[in-house]
Amino acid sequence: VAGLEHPWSLAFLPDGGALVTERPGRLRRITAAGELVPGEVSGLPEVFSSGQAGLFEVLISEDFASSGLVFLSYACGVESANHLCVARAKLGEDRLENVEEIFRALPAKKGDAHYGGRMAQLPDASLIITLGDGFDYREQAQVLGNHLGSVVRIGTDGVAPEDNPFIDSPDARPEVFSYGHRNVQGLVYDPVEQLLISHEHGPRGGDEINVLRPGQNYGWPVITYGLDYTGARITPFTEYPNMEQPLLQWTPSIAPSGMTRYRGELFPEWRGDLFVGALADRSVRRVEFVDGEAEDVETLFKELKARIRDVITGPDGALYLLTDESDGRVLRVSPKP
């Protein structure tokens, strides 16, 4: 599929078709035959589109067959005061119905960078939502009283579950699941090993892959393997007590984006591997993930010369790639005959 403006997220529907988001604020349909439906799905909430801000992830609810529910993450507000927001809605034929905002990151921030925006649904139906530090607010990633630089967990109604790690802490936001993050733009829940795996952007270097666990501090900006964009040192520490070490870090930065853990049938030799899209590196990295250890073992699809925004395992076992371009594409990867 071609003709998409900066596609950001792809989600397959039970009928074999798919939904794809465009960062400027459009939701599009792709038919089961692989054809882009003209026009857009109407009824979206108002999206703040500027720089890195826009419409991010579309997630199909696990009970979609009976509920028709989808979840959308997006930037909302204005340049001087904006947030990462999440809405739920019922998907009609060509429009969203019963649209309701269920999460808004607090406080409001200025600027148009570092939103996070990836989502996953856990077996208990709760939603995991990744955030960023807002770029100019990195110290807030260590402050539990706001959502900046955190990963949050909410119910599908937007309410923080009673077993969230900081639910009883008066100085913490009840939705916070983990903290100390810079800009988490890769997330996958693997039901086989019951692991929640993420990656996040470092500054100049220090991109990370982590296993997310409730209540843990992932260190930013107290620890990092990267430098500031000026070349200045952000911190003298790459390790610190009670802060998690990444399973893998990339220096120099590859600018990781969407990620999948392959569990399909078409590529049995890749089963269990992570596939990480890379924006700056214009590639997909294959990461072997075994016994809690991660190793970058192969660089794929450099010949595309494209910024890869998302990587998805399709229901057919193929890999699907989104290219982050003004004339963006959805590419299907299958074994050679």
Of 209, 211, 206, residue with least CA distance to 221: 206
Of 131, 137, 132, 171, residue with least CA distance to 153: 131
Whether the Cβ atoms of residue 253 and residue 229 lie closer than 8 Å to each other: no
d(CA 79, CA 131): 17
CA angle at 52 for the pair 1 and 172, rounded to the nearest 5°: 120
Structural tokens at position 150: 């955190």
Query: Residues with Cβ < 8 Å from 305, sequence gap 6 or more?
Result: 282
89 beta partners = 70
114 is known as an active-site residue: yes
d(CA 297, CA 288): 7
Whether the Cβ atoms of residue 50 and residue 57 lie closer than 8 Å to each other: no
Which segments of 47-181 does DSSP mark as H helices, in order?
64-67
d(CA 336, CA 158): 44
Query: Residues with Cβ < 8 Å from 148, sequence gap 6 or more?
Result: 105, 107, 109, 131, 132, 133, 134, 137, 140, 141
Which of the 8 DSSP states describes residue 298? Answer: E
Structural tokens at position 158: 């937007």
Q: Given the residues 6, 83, 114, 201, select the one marked as catalytic.
A: 114
Which residues are annotated as catalytic? 114
